[in-house]
Amino acid sequence: MSTPEQRSMAASAAAHARWAQVGPAERREAGARGRRGLIASITKSIDPDGTMDPAERAVRVESAVMAHTKLMQLRSSQSRARKKAERDAAKQARRVA
């Protein structure tokens, strides 16, 4: 069984290998498909029956997408800070040793 870090590294390697094989148009289209999928998923969670007023649904979906984006930014920032702290601690440990 692999660790979450190992799975993340494997996924990252696979993504880089894929992007090395395609041009910018294909990368843009892949990104657009991902955004459409995210919006569709959020829309379904906000209005599963499709009965909400379309204007209200659009406002709520936009807010939910922004919330998702901000949460991803927060998690990325936390991860970078944690990794920096780990690097700094390792550097300090090497100095002491």
Residue 96 pLDDT: 85
Per-residue pLDDT of 38-47, as tens digits, reads: 999 999 999 9
Q: Name the residue ranges covered by the structural domains of the chain.
A: 17-96
| 69 has pLDDT over 90 | yes
Q: DSSP labels for 60-95?
A: HHHHHHHHHHHHHHHHHHHHHHHHHHHHHHHHHHHH
For 45, residues 6+ apart whose C-beta sits below 8 A from its C-beta are 64
Cα angle value 45/64/73 (rounded, 5°): 125
**pLDDT tops 90 at residue 81:** yes
| Residue 48: DSSP 8-state | T
